[in-house]
Amino acid sequence: MNHSSQCPANKTLLIIGYVWPEPNSSAAGSRMMQLIKLFQDDLWNITFASPAKLGEHRVDLTKSGITEQNIELNNASFDQFIKNLQPDLVIFDRFMMEEQFGWRVEKYAPNALRVLNTEDLHSLRACRQQIIKDYLKTKPQEINLKNLTLTDQAWLFSKMTKTEITKREIAAIFRCDLTLMISEFEIKLLKEQFQIPARQLFYLPFLYKELETKNLPTFEQRQHFVTIGNFRHDPNWDAVLWLKEAIWPIIRQQLPQAEMHIYGAYPPPKATALNNPKQGFLVKGWAEDAFDVIQNAKVLLAPLRFGAGIKGKLAEAMLNGTPSVTTLIGKESMLDDSKSDWPGNIANSSNEFADAAIELYQNHQAWLNKKITGFNIVSQRYVLNNKKVKEKHSLPTHCKEMLDHLEDHRSQNFIGSILNHHHHKSTQYMAQWIEAKNNKNEN
């Protein structure tokens, strides 16, 4: 596949995607489309390339004037492609793409600004997942997230540094000229614990076009609880299990007419097997319009026990005037500071979570107050028609400024140049060996 719809532009951007964007399936897909829109509005000519298979719910980028390009792993065809394109900027979507294609970009488009889009810190998410897994082995009946060290950065650092995924991800961050970060908690972790220079990090949260508060369903017009999230994402699946096993039975006992609606792309058989109409626990699967299902629910539940980044489901709940109940993991980096009021409730154990959900579901005035709180948060932090938000997150402008001083910027990143030299040499030789082996097998 190579579909092209060129438009006049002053700069060229190549995005190397881990997957093809599915904005209706995941927060990562929505963020990718937001990222693309930032550069489109600044008149960049954009090519999106990926070695991934086409997903069931992927968006057709050509309809937005973007060139689509299939690329292959460990194949010299990419070398010719990047030579011909000669982009000004390359964005690697997640560190795995930088590992695969970074050395080729450096070799055949050396003047391109190399940017890593993390989505979230995969290594942080994996570390927290292991903490929860280990804890549940010893105390499977109950868990209170406040009793764990999920947000102690020095402690997390000591655990993360022992894992291979951390070494790989941090090395990729050093090798790139700039890394896009969605979470202020993670920026602090990288700067203070991993000693990543601030000049190599750029804060870019979710950025929605506008906030529309009119014509949303009222408290009386809404019913039931909702949760939403791609089932292929481990934190979402764990949250569904916690809901099913411990939280929902308490809620259902107090609210026997209420239903729990579970939405998410790619539900596996083990997820659809949880569907139980008698218990009011309904696994709905993929939502064609996430905003529609969120704004018609009374309360959104996000019982996340581990994870990283910031949560698209919680930002979209605020946009749709739907109060939410989540955990300290769900809340992380969503607000200006940790003491700010949440547009719903925060709870870190099964009983607390159920009680908070029941209270919000029944208390009309509290629900209204939390709805307004959510509107205030997204308008101040995540909506581009707020001039301050737009100026603060002007990534295309920042990239142009970096391109003007790229040699100076790279000269200050000696660790990155060392890692590029050694890692890319080894990756290059491995890739070329695999390529030669594949060619031999074909012949």
Q: What is the pLDDT of residues 326-375, one digit of tens each?
A: 999 999 999 987 667 999 999 999 999 999 999 999 999 999 999 999 99
Burial class (CB in 10 A: 0-12, 13-18, 19+), 404: exposed
**Single-letter code of the amino acid located at 117:** N
- pLDDT classification of 7: cutoffs 50, 70, 90: very low
Q: Provide the pLDDT for residue 329.
A: 97
Tell me if 51 sits within 8 A of 73, measured CB to CB.
Answer: yes
Burial class (CB in 10 A: 0-12, 13-18, 19+), 333: buried
- pLDDT classification of 4: cutoffs 50, 70, 90: very low
Segment 188-211 shows an average pLDDT of 96
In terms of DSSP H, where are the helices of 109-255?
122-138, 153-160, 164-175, 184-192, 234-242, 248-254
Tell me if 350 sits within 8 A of 356, measured CB to CB.
Answer: no
The number of CA neighbours under 13 Å toward the Cβ of 420 is 20
Q: Provide the pLDDT for residue 423.
A: 67
Q: How far is CA 95 from CA 140, 165, 392, in A?
A: 34, 10, 25
Q: Provide the pLDDT for residue 5.
A: 46
Q: Provide the pLDDT for residue 9.
A: 47
Q: List all residues 6 or more positions away from 393 whose beta carbon is below 8 Å from its beta carbon.
A: 38, 203, 204, 205, 207
Rg (CA), the chain: 23
Segment 96-113 shows an average pLDDT of 95
Q: Is the dihedral of CA 376, 239, 332, 38 positive or negative?
A: negative
Per-residue pLDDT tens digits for 413-439:
888 888 877 766 666 666 666 666 666
Tell me if 351 sits within 8 A of 250, measured CB to CB.
Answer: yes
d(CA 58, CA 55): 5
Tell me if 74 sits within 8 A of 435, measured CB to CB.
Answer: yes
Q: What is the pTM of this model?
A: 0.92
pLDDT at residue 443 is higher than 60: no
Q: Provide the pLDDT for residue 131.
A: 94
List of domains in the chain:
2-123+154-204+392-442 (3.40.50.2000), 225-381 (3.40.50.2000)
Q: pLDDT above 90 covers what percent of the chain?
A: 82
pLDDT at residue 198 is higher than 50: yes
In which residue are the tokens 């990543």 written?
A: 196
Return the biggest CA–CA distance within the chain: 72
d(CA 5, CA 2): 10
pLDDT at residue 179 is higher than 50: yes
User: Which of 106, 65, 60 is closest to 87 using CA atoms?
Assistant: 106
Q: Provide the pLDDT for residue 8.
A: 46
Torsion of CA 100, 105, 107, 111, to 10 degrees: -150
Q: Supply the mean pLDDT for the chain.
A: 92
Segment 230-259 shows an average pLDDT of 97
Q: Tokens for 408, please give them.
A: 């100076």
pLDDT at residue 39 is higher than 90: yes
